Amino acid sequence: MLISKLPITCCILFLILIQLNKWVLAENHSMGTWRQAASAPAYRTEVAAAAIEGKIYVVGGFNKPTLSNALNFAISDTVEVYDTATNSWSLAASLPEGRHHAGVVSLDGFLYVIGGFKKSLFSVWHAVSTVYQYNPATGKWRELAAMPTARGALGVVAHQNRLYAIGGYDGKHNSGAVEIFDPKTNNWSPAPSMPTPRDHLAVVMAGGQIYTIGGRSELNYGRNMGTVEEYDPRTLLWRARTSLPTPRSGMSAAVVGDWIYVVGGESKTGTFATNEAYHPATDHWRTMTPMPTARHGSGSAVVNGQMYVISGGPEPGGSFSAINEVFITLADQ
């Protein structure tokens, strides 16, 4: 009797294992997946990126040091363009002057490069206030009205035809400045300061609100933060939100659907492959599938609901890569 029941028991256990496997696969699937795309032509770090009409513009940063760029401390004026449709790269016109840790954003078919750092004597941390606008149709750059507060390692977002420059490091201290640029009038105006000044933060626009995420104090990645603050451009009010689960700086962030994805970063102990997603409507975080390659100082942009994370350093500080990894959320699978 016992022997006759054994096949049935084995069959039931087998079916249970199949179901458990399906549940595990479904859970992994819901965390998103990554794929490799064509590597960038140059090895760089501390770049910034933005997308225009299916193409991602990867701007400035530091090139991998060589004898030819040593006099400029490897600060890059390079602009590489990744075509997501053809999985291929090309070069755009170089920046008027090399920049690293700049804020980059696109608006109405133009690319804007705001602030950042440049070389000054023997330092690479000279904060600037320049605003460069690039027209992909003509391949030309032009300089616009300077930002009131010179700073680098800031965040920049576009909202209702204006650009918001937030936070950063001014060369001496962290800045909480929020300054708004109107490209139509070529003028700047102030807004209420961010409550927690910091640099190397992530700044995104989601659901009509601006979110400032993570960062560090005084350029020191030993003083990383998990701070998340939300700014309402309508009421001009800030409020604190649930902290980033893994405090870090030098990470990339992007919005896909209803979620903000925060990937990578660095600390004293190493770089992060961590991928954490924030849902503004419910103010909660979720752990997602990590990046295949831990990095900081990458540029990120979203095209057709997929997040591209390009270049950046695999080790803390001065390290370089040409990696191009693409995160695909559940909705796109």
Confidence band for 7, pLDDT divided at 50, 70 and 90: low
Confidence band for 72, pLDDT divided at 50, 70 and 90: confident
Confidence band for 46, pLDDT divided at 50, 70 and 90: very high
Confidence band for 71, pLDDT divided at 50, 70 and 90: confident
Topology (CATH) of 34-332: Neuraminidase (2.120.10)
Above pLDDT 70, what percent of the chain?
90
Confidence band for 3, pLDDT divided at 50, 70 and 90: very low
pLDDT digits (tens, 9 = 90+) for 163-221: 999 999 999 999 999 999 999 999 999 999 999 999 999 999 999 999 999 999 999 99
Domain boundaries, the chain: 34-332
Tell me the HSE value of 322 on the side-chain side, using a 13 A CA sphere.
12
Confidence band for 30, pLDDT divided at 50, 70 and 90: confident
User: What is the predicted pLDDT for the residue at 240?
Assistant: 98
Confidence band for 24, pLDDT divided at 50, 70 and 90: very low
Mean pLDDT confidence for 119-134: 95
User: What is the predicted pLDDT for the residue at 122?
Assistant: 86
User: What is the predicted pLDDT for the residue at 215?
Assistant: 98
Above pLDDT 90, what percent of the chain?
86
Question: Of 141, 201, 140, 139, whose CA–CA distance to 175 is shortest?
Answer: 201
DSSP E strands: which ranges in 71-226?
Answer: 79-83, 88-91, 103-107, 110-114, 117-120, 123-127, 131-135, 140-144, 155-159, 162-166, 178-182, 187-191, 202-206, 209-213, 216-217, 220-224
User: What is the predicted pLDDT for the residue at 140?
Assistant: 98
The count of other CB atoms within 10 Å of the CB of residue 87 is 11
Element (H, E) at 260: strand 259-263
pLDDT digits (tens, 9 = 90+) for 249-292: 999 999 999 999 999 999 999 999 999 999 999 999 999 999 99
User: What is the predicted pLDDT for the residue at 330?
Assistant: 67
Q: Is the pLDDT of residue 27 over 70?
A: no
Residue pointed to by tokens 């980033």: 244
User: What is the predicted pLDDT for the residue at 12?
Assistant: 54
